[in-house]
């Protein structure tokens, strides 16, 4: 299965936060699954940290790519084409 983590799941996962459901934890931990993190989440974390809405995400905001790679997650780039896509 391919999973795309949102910014909150990415914050909660390494911390073992109970806000992340058991089902989500199991899916992320399952090595058979491919876990991706969007560049949009990097932007969201950096912006929210900068304006003080995510004070606990300093490390993630400062070294997003290394943390994503360290978790074994894939980076998912987005382009203008992706952003403009109406869907299917």
pLDDT tens for 38-88 read: 999 999 999 999 999 999 899 999 999 999 999 999 999 888 887 776 766
Quote the pLDDT of residue 87. 64
Long-range CB contacts (within 8 A, 24+) of 53-57: 54/11, 56/11, 57/11
Q: What is the DSSP string of 25-73?
A: HHHHH-TTSEEEEEHHHHHHHHHHHHTTS-GGGHHHHHSHHHHHHHTTP
Report the 10 Å Cβ neighbour count for 44: 19
Quote the pLDDT of residue 77. 86
Quote the pLDDT of residue 15. 85
Quote the pLDDT of residue 14. 86
CA distance 19 to 31: 21
Quote the pLDDT of residue 78. 83
Coil vs helix vs strand at 18: coil
């Amino acid at each position: 299965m391919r999973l795309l983590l949102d910014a909150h799941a990415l914050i909660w996962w390494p911390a073992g936060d109970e806000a992340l459901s058991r089902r989500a934890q199991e899916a992320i931990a399952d090595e058979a699954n491919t876990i991706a993190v969007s560049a949009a989440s990097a932007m969201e974390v950096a912006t929210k940290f900068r304006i003080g809405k995510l004070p606990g995400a300093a490390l993630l905001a400062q070294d997003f790519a290394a943390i994503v790679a360290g978790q074994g997650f894939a980076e998912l780039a987005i382009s203008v084409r992706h952003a403009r896509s109406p869907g299917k």
